[in-house]
Structure 1
């Protein structure tokens, strides 16, 4: 079996537990090199995670002849810049979500990889998690009959960092117009397309209520899936408490779950109820990374590709604009 040597561009906080160890624990994968702008922090990461090589620049890592694949884990405004270099180097790539700050940038990235006939993945890992595979199985088994509507409400208090006016790229409109919507809501909207089929129409309203930063902090949206299922969502990042609830309404019942919390998945159908608890793995991208391996081995297609992630970016843009 071929061993794929991976390199990470931007070995920051998201790679500490969520993703980096997943590449190390997947058979046939090796985390061989890392890079970040602060070389000393990159060295510290490599020492703690036992990564053999540290590069001072992204270009060095991308062009390292011992590296087969690149995981881009930088803020989204640099994803396109690095992705195009990875495509030019003719290497496999996985990009953190959201794929890029704009749908047009996503298209440019996809075009570059398609021209080289290279695999491109995006870290919408919820498509691979067992808890959401269970939801998908209930839908496919017609547990709640014909699906009519999906509704999601997500809200949370303002972050202390934002209240103290400290800079945060996640709330800089130049990088993420929707602020935390781009970072968090993208997970759910991407999952809904996976569960219910592509979204063909979307609209919404986005404003800034708190004035804490330049990005939007209050968004409502509605959409239509290709299957005729309607959807609606509301996201607010300045409320008293955190709430995260998805409801899928069918002709014979309802499915209820959370996007981010490890809460039970609830099924109500024909007067009966069922509750299932499926814990997420410690390294939450583990199943996502294992599915990359299966894709490269031609065992099964990965559920989150450049094409599916670009579609999610299009949906978010429609809601925000």
Structure 2
């Protein structure tokens, strides 16, 4: 591997300010050298504040920049497919924000383009790299709750002010995210459950728009079956009276409770004891995800979230939504 892998970001919006962007400068051996945003003044402002030497308002210019070795696509998901195929054509390393693309079909085309060129492709399902969830994985692998029987997840919340105001929000625009917040949020959990319990062999679901506050769906339920024989179910509702984020994994000898988005304790319950584990998230939260990309590029270890795993998550989501 080169002494330093130089990264460019396409779409330096809110998600890159704190959660992801700084990690590309903090990881030893990585360097953030260029950013792109359609508004040149906003791109310039980002570059100045984050000490990035180049900025563009044209994605093609960043992709073709000879100094840029790798590209992080952090735009809304409807443009991931377009940009990813351009990055693959340019022969560069790529990391794509989740979800990988709005449909399994688009994700498959992205995955195939990088596979055919033998190019590294990562997807920013960074929960696979967080110590909090790797503690859950260790507890499962050490049979702390015996043989796993089933997993359930409830994720609900009240409508946000932007939902009620009818102001534009790409996350609830059916043209960009057909299932609304499900696309943005449920993808994290479903990907995590696959990481914890193995691939999913079949999935089903129903969804609709109950509130009519925006064009995307706002209420979805789903069920699935892991290859391991573990049964899963979940309900996602974005118009309820309060916020709930509760995951429960039940085994033959106990259960694990935790949240996907909160930092509540992981609670292990058996017939003889109850034990809590409090594990805070790092800052920036994607630091371990980015570090693991470096480890794979150096040949030290495989990253837990690749194009292949991201493709599987897309398939599960499309199965729940009835798209395939």
Question: What is the TM-score when the length of structure 1 is the normalising length?
Answer: 0.99
- 1: distance between equivalents of 2:94 and 2:298? 15
> 1:310 maps to what in 2?
311
> 2:237 maps to what in 1?
236
> 1:10 maps to what in 2?
11
> 1:222 maps to what in 2?
223
- 1: distance between equivalents of 2:162 and 2:204? 30
Describe the SS at the equivalent of 2:18. Answer: helix
Matched, 1:133 2:138: no
State how many pairs are aligned: 321
- 2: distance between equivalents of 1:221 and 1:115? 33
Describe the SS at the equivalent of 1:223. Answer: strand
CA RMSD, Structure 1 to Structure 2 (Å): 0.7
TM superposition shift of 1:266: 0.5
> 2:253 maps to what in 1?
252
- 2: distance between equivalents of 1:61 and 1:115? 23
Unmatched 5+ stretches in structure 1: none
> 2:175 maps to what in 1?
174
Q: Map 1:1-321; keep pairs closer than 5 Å.
A: 2-321=3-322
TM superposition shift of 1:2: 1.8
- 2: distance between equivalents of 1:271 and 1:238? 38
- 1: distance between equivalents of 2:154 and 2:316? 17
- 2: distance between equivalents of 1:176 and 1:247? 27
Runs of 4+ displaced beyond 4 Å:
none
- 1: distance between equivalents of 2:270 and 2:92? 47
- 2: distance between equivalents of 1:253 and 1:160? 40
TM superposition shift of 1:270: 3.5
Question: What is the TM-score when the length of structure 2 is the normalising length?
Answer: 0.98
- 2: distance between equivalents of 1:293 and 1:2? 11
